[in-house]
Amino acid sequence: MRLYLDVCTICRPYDDQKMMRIRLETDAVHLILSRIHNRTYQGVASRVHTMEVSAISNLAERIELLTLLSGFQSDFAIDKVQAAKRAEHLHSLGFGLADSAHLAYAEGIADVFITCDDKLIKKSRKEDVRVPVYNPIEFVMKEDLQ
C-alpha cells in the first residue's frame, strides 16, 4: 500500500508534545514510518513535499525531513498537466493551494493520504477526493498497527 503523508504529518514529531493529541499522533506517525522503513508500506512523495519542506526555517528539522523524504518513492510517471488541473479544481472547491497540490498528487500516486489537519480531513470527505484521507491515529487503528 502506498502512503502519502502530508507535511504536517511528517512534522508532527517536531511539534510541542505537551498536548495528549499531539503525542498520540506523534506515536502513530512513528508507527507508520517504522512500517514504511521495514517495507510493510511504501512511502510516496511529490515535488510539493520538497518545496514545502524546503521552506522550513529550522535547519535541523528541514534536513531531517528532506532525508526522510529521500527514502520515499518519488519517481512516478504522473501527468503533471492533469495533476495541475486537478489541483486547480480542488482549490476552486475551497482547499488551500498546498493542500490542493498534495491531494492532486496523492490521487495519482497513493492508496491513502494521511494528515493531521482536521479541516482538510473533513473537507476531503465532503468533497470528491479520490483517495481515502485519514488522521494518523485513524490509520493506525484501521490497520491494527502495534
Burial of 27 (0-12, 13-18, 19+ CB in 10 A): middle
In the prediction, which pLDDT does 133 show? 98
**Regions in the chain scoring below 70 on pLDDT:** none
Q: Under CATH, which number does the domain 2-143 receive? A: 3.40.50.1010
**pTM of the full structure:** 0.94
Locate the domains of the chain by residue range. 2-143
In the prediction, which pLDDT does 110 show? 96
Beta bridge partners of 114: 5, 134
